[in-house]
Structure 1
Amino acid sequence: MSSINKNLLFIQGGGSTEDYEADKKLVDTLQGLLGEAYGMHYPLLPNESIPDLGRIKQIDNAISLIEGELILVGHSLGASMLLKYVSENEIRKKITGIFLLSTPFWSGEEEWKKGFKLKEDFADQLPSDIPVFLYHCQDDQEVPFAHFAIYRKKLPWATFRELASGGHQLNNDLTIVANDILAL
């Protein structure tokens, strides 16, 4: 009998192999902190040539392959696409928590952003029984810290963890995230 009783799906930032490998350090750190009781699922999500890069379909497929309760974790683009997925789709699995790291808030009218942008009422569409946590470092050079402030206004009921330093990759140290997951 397996000792795994909780499943965690980690959605990478970006879409390149380099992005996947960079985020694998986050995944490995998180797995080490959580231990064997957590089954880690980390699918490679290549960019497709459609407005959302194929992420919504890929996330849906990844979720459908996992049995039992599920914890969702996303980094950067992956975090924003998880938020989009959960706010725009019927969730058929029991999600016990959503953890979003260095999450961009897409705005503007550029064509390339249309597949990433959240609907205006996205916060109202999130299931109210699922805890949502957001993490952002003040010195993130890729996703401006101002995006964190936007989410604070849009999701006042969520838990926000502001970190003084760690950059976009949170120094590959997800101790704070693991502690929040373990406290669920």
Structure 2
Amino acid sequence: MKKQILFVHSAGAQGLHQGSRDLIEYLLDQLGDTYHLISPMMPKPENPEYARWKNELTNIFSHLEGEIILIGHSLGGSVLLKYLSEMEVKPAISSLFLIASPYWGKDDDWQAEEFTLTENFTSNLPYIPNIYLYHSKDDKVVPVTHIHHYANEFPQAITRVLEREGHYFSDGIPDLITDIKE
């Protein structure tokens, strides 16, 4: 049976060479037939609302069985964390990968109440044995400082600060492929 991966994309346009599209294509190419990558189009990505994304995730999770790997890119990562801290999910989560995810509510420029995690949100998360954090030093969309906020919340996480990948990781993340396969 193929291993399932749920990938929640970034905010913004998701067309050819936009948003998370190149990263999704990279994953499909690199992971091959051993994995089943589920990458739904989230509602109104150019004007995202947490309530709509939450409803979509509820629908998706209701159809999943067995064990799943979760990947969230940018807003997709912060939405996944908020969702997991508020809702009960049916499938067991083997790993969570957060890529260039904003940590809402910490820094002055990153205030959006609908996406902000509650205090002590980690105590409400389901058991996730493997957590990985990725961010690029030269990210001009979400500053690299956000990975440090997450690393403080998840001291057990494997944290990878990359040199020159920007925000969209259009050329992929080789470490991500290695980490998924391990």
- TM-score class, shorter-chain normalisation, is 0.7 to 0.9
Matched position secondary structure for 2:156? coil
1:60 to 1:145, Cα distance in 2 relative to 1, 3 A: same
Please list the CA deviations of residues 77-132 of structure 1 after superposition, one character each: whole Å capped at 9, or x if unmatched: 0010011111221121111111110010001699x711100011112222344311
Please list the CA deviations of residues 123-143 of structure 1 after superposition, one character each: whole Å capped at 9, or x if unmatched: 222234431111000000000
Equivalent residue letter for 2:19? A
Unaligned runs of 5+ in 2: none
Q: Give the aligned partner of residue 95 of structure 1.
A: 93
Structure 1 residue 21 displacement after superposition? 4.4
Structure 1 residue 154 displacement after superposition? 1.6
Contact 1:47 1:53 in 2 (8 A): no
Superposition misfits of 4+ residues, deviation over 6 angstroms: none
Of residues 25, 30, 54, the one that matches 2:27 is 30
The number of aligned residues is 179
Contact 1:15 1:45 in 2 (8 A): no
Unaligned runs of 5+ in 1: none
Contact 2:93 2:128 in 1 (8 A): no
| Counterpart-to-counterpart distance in 1, 2:11 and 2:136 | 18
1:5 to 1:80, Cα distance in 2 relative to 1, 3 A: same
Q: Give the aligned partner of residue 139 of structure 1.
A: 138
Q: TM-score, normalised by structure 2?
A: 0.88
Equivalent residue letter for 1:126? L
Contact 1:71 1:97 in 2 (8 A): yes
Contact 1:51 1:114 in 2 (8 A): no
Matched position secondary structure for 2:147? helix
Identity of aligned residues (%): 33
